[in-house]
Amino acid sequence: NVVINKNIDTKIEANNTVINQNIKNAINENNTTIINKVDKSVDVKIAENNKTINNTINNVNVKVNGIKGDLNGLTKRVDQNEKDIN
């Protein structure tokens, strides 16, 4: 009986080791999957934010260029008015 019980205990311990390793492997695989999905989601959001930022910068640049054009036009008119006055 002692020998049989020892054999059973040994087999149970071996099975527990295999089960524990399988659980660890499954957890690691799930963690990797979760991390990859989160990374992809973050990358997509960063790309969307970059597009928004770039579009906003382009809109500001267009407005600045328009203001520069208006300012150049006003400067020319002021210069011409000064000539006309003098």
Domain extent for 24: 1-86
Structural domain count, the chain: 1
Report the C-alpha gap between 30 and 48 in whole angstroms.
Answer: 27
What is the tens place of the pLDDT at every residue in 38-52? 999 999 999 999 999
| pTM (2 d.p.) | 0.58
d(CA 14, CA 10): 6
pLDDT in tens, 13-39: 999 999 999 999 999 999 999 999 999
Query: How far is CA 38 from each of CA 33, 43, 46, 47, 49, rounded to the nearest angstrom?
Result: 9, 8, 12, 14, 16
